[in-house]
Structure 1
Amino acid sequence: MTQAYDERAERKAYVLRRQKIVFTIVGAIMAIAMVVSLLFFFHVGGLGDVKSSTVEPNYGKQAPCATKDSSDGKAKYVENRNITVRVLNGTKFSGFATAVSDALQNREFNVQTPGTYQTSKVERTMIVYGKNAINQAYTVNSNFTDAEMVMDDREDQLIDVVIGATFDTLKDTKKVPAAGSEITNIEGCVAADKMTNLQKAPEHDAVSQN
Structure 2
Amino acid sequence: MTGIYDERVARKAYVRRRQTTVFSITVVCMVVALVVSLLFYFHAFGLGKPQTAESLPNHGVTVACAVPDSSGTAKYVDTSTVHVRVLNGTQHSGFARAVGEALTNRGFTVESVANYQKTDVKRTVIYYGRNTVNEAYTLNDHFTDAVMKMDDRQDKLIDVVLGATFDNLKTKSKVLGKGAKITSISGCVDSSKMTNLPKALTHDAVS
TM range (shorter): 0.7 to 0.9
Q: What is the aligned residue count?
A: 188
Mapped contact 2:151–2:199 kept (Cα < 8 A):
yes
* Offset, 1:121: 1.5
Q: Which position in structure 1 is the counterpart of 2:36?
A: 36
Q: Which position in structure 2 is the counterpart of 1:60?
A: 60
Unaligned residue ranges in structure 2 (runs of 5+): 1-22
2:66 corresponds to which letter in structure 1? A
Q: Which position in structure 2 is the counterpart of 1:18?
A: none
Q: Which position in structure 2 is the counterpart of 1:124?
A: 123
1:174 corresponds to which letter in structure 2? S
* Offset, 1:196: 1.4
Q: Which position in structure 2 is the counterpart of 1:4?
A: none
2:164 corresponds to which letter in structure 1? A
* Offset, 1:166: 0.5
Identity of aligned residues (%): 56
- Residue by residue over 1:35-57, the C-alpha shift from the partner in whole angstroms, topping out at 9 and shown as x without a partner, is 23221122234432343577423
Q: 1:180 to 1:33 in 2, by over 3 A?
A: same
Q: Which position in structure 1 is the counterpart of 2:114?
A: 115
TM-score normalised by length of structure 2: 0.82
Paired residue secondary structure (2:182): coil
1:40 corresponds to which letter in structure 2? F
Q: 1:182 to 1:26 in 2, by over 3 A?
A: closer
Q: Once superposed, which parts of structure 1, at least 4 consecutive aligned residues long, lie more than 6 Å away?
A: 23-30
* Offset, 1:33: 4.6
Q: Which position in structure 2 is the counterpart of 1:177?
A: 176
The alignment status of 1:85 with 2:84, answered yes or no, reads yes
Paired residue secondary structure (2:87): strand
Q: Which position in structure 2 is the counterpart of 1:13?
A: none
The alignment status of 1:47 with 2:64, answered yes or no, reads no
1:73 corresponds to which letter in structure 2? G
Paired residue secondary structure (1:76): coil
Q: Which position in structure 2 is the counterpart of 1:104?
A: 103
C-alpha RMSD of matched pairs (Å) = 2.3
- Residue by residue over 1:21-44, the C-alpha shift from the partner in whole angstroms, topping out at 9 and shown as x without a partner, is xx9999877654542322112223
Q: Which position in structure 1 is the counterpart of 2:16?
A: none
CA distance in 2, matches of 1:152, 1:28: 54
* Offset, 1:93: 1.2
Identify which range, 197-206 or 165-174, moves more after superposition.
197-206
CA distance in 1, matches of 2:160, 2:29: 55
1:35 corresponds to which letter in structure 2? V
